[in-house]
Structure 1
Amino acid sequence: MQKQFILPSSFEFLKLLKKNNNRDWFNAHKERYLIELETVENFAEALLREMNKHDVIETVSGKKSLHRIYRDIRFSKDKTPYNSHWGGGFKRASKYRRGSYYFHLSPGNSFLAGGFWGPEANDLKRIRDEFAYDAKPFRKILKSKSFVSTFGTLKGEQIKTSPKGFNADDEAIDLLRYKQFLLIKSFNDKEIMSADFLKKVNETFRQMRPFLDYMSEVLTTDINGESI
């Protein structure tokens, strides 16, 4: 049976890679990298199966969900060639299911995230229009016991002033200032290595559903609630 959990050796490899982030070292340890990669792929595949029980995911396999270990350094001041974390994402299926899921596994810095990292201008305007019209349904989600216990608060970059076309004294100004809409939950290394981590990840992603479903409805309807 394929392992469906993260092994300590997977993090040990990342620690070594961070200390030896160069092509010569990586090529000399390529076989070990492939072994650890397979473990993470198996974990992601098992996670995908669980997620499809409560959502519909477009990503076709755990392997396809993983991000490349090779960094794009063309426009970066950091020229180290490899990522020192395991990362991947799952895209929800069809235009009616908006938002995505992401996992980032790294020694001392592991977290799950979901939502909208860089909304298009039209999408951002539509979300803000909805907040200005009636933010109560969204606030209810953010204040729910399950949301607070899992994610704490809504995360994401915000502007300091009011967005163009909206009043600074709008009662939803705290929400209107968001440029990103992110849910994030961190995990320590012990939790990552636990036998029930897969279950915890799946449950965390499932807890994102009220938020994602709200955003999906907003982004697939106009201000009158008509489908677009």
Structure 2
Amino acid sequence: MITQEVLSFLQLLESNNNRDWFQEHKSEFKVVEKIVKDHFQLLFDALKQHDDVDAIKIFRIYRDVRFSKNKQPYKTHFGGTFHRVKPQFRGGYYLQIQPNNKSFSATGFWDPNKEDLLRIRKEIEIDASELRDILNENALKSVWGDLQGEELKTAPKGFDRNHPDIDLIKKKQFIFTKSYTDAEVLSSDFISKVTVDFKAIKPYFDYMSDVLTTNINGESLL
């Protein structure tokens, strides 16, 4: 299981976010980093049992402060992404470990390119019924709740602001997030729980992958 020392180290780092302290505690960081990496690898292996994932990226603890007002040199969490096999399988998974009940997982489409975003919007404009059925399915909704993400204040260019599905058309992101308590993170079945949560998103991914690999007439682009 993910141990208390992982969360404790991150709490201390939050209170001592400077290079001198970090260098003095570098050996402790390496220990907790390995614990997290091992668990992220377990999650990756578990995901491969029910989805086509081909890569895992665990983000470095060091922050890029060059263009940020926040000059603290270190992140106070561990995060990793799990990539689906492209181009046929779209969407992705993310898990963040952070103390004080701030851990969470996320899934969906964070930053679709303009072509993909237009394709999704056009599909919704034509018929959003299948997508709405998926979003309202209890197996998904009971785990992930409502669809989230940034959206425009009004209709995007070329779309009717009075369209009955304008709430979906206005979205710039199509994501879901789920929070975890520290107790959940430290439990022996945490990775299994996250795996089950990610598995519940599969019908949504199947739908979006189908949309993004076909043209407006439903013809394959692959």
Give the TM-score taking structure 2 as reference length: 0.97
> In the alignment, what sits opposite 1:87?
79
Q: Is the CA contact 1:14–1:106 (under 8 Å) kept in the aligned structure 2?
A: yes
> In the alignment, what sits opposite 2:15?
19
> In the alignment, what sits opposite 1:144?
137
1:4-30: per-residue Cα shift (whole Å, max 9, x none)? x21111000000000000111001100
Out of 97, 108, 128, the residue aligned to residue 105 of structure 1 is 97
> In the alignment, what sits opposite 1:72?
64
Residue 182 (structure 2) pairs with residue 189 (structure 1): yes
Query: Which amino acid letter does the alignment assign opposite residue 89 of structure 1?
Result: T
Describe how 1:37-76 pairs up with structure 2 within 5 A: 37-59=33-55, 64-76=56-68
Residue 126 (structure 2) pairs with residue 119 (structure 1): no
Query: Which amino acid letter does the alignment assign opposite residue 76 of structure 1?
Result: S
1:173-195: per-residue Cα shift (whole Å, max 9, x none)? 11001000101111111111111
Q: Aligned Cα RMSD in Å?
A: 0.8
For 1:192 and 1:17, the matched residues in 2 are separated by 19
Cα deviation for residue 169 of structure 1 reads 1.3
Give the TM-score taking structure 1 as reference length: 0.95
For 2:190 and 2:17, the matched residues in 1 are separated by 28
Identity of matched residues, %: 45
Q: Is the CA contact 1:130–1:223 (under 8 Å) kept in the aligned structure 2?
A: yes
1:111-145: per-residue Cα shift (whole Å, max 9, x none)? 10011111111110000000001101100011000
1:42-65: per-residue Cα shift (whole Å, max 9, x none)? 101111111000011121xxxx52
For 1:117 and 1:56, the matched residues in 2 are separated by 19
SS in 1 for 2:90: coil
Out of 172, 175, 178, the residue aligned to residue 168 of structure 2 is 175
Query: Which amino acid letter does the alignment assign opposite residue 148 of structure 2?
Result: K
Q: Is the CA contact 1:90–1:100 (under 8 Å) kept in the aligned structure 2?
A: yes
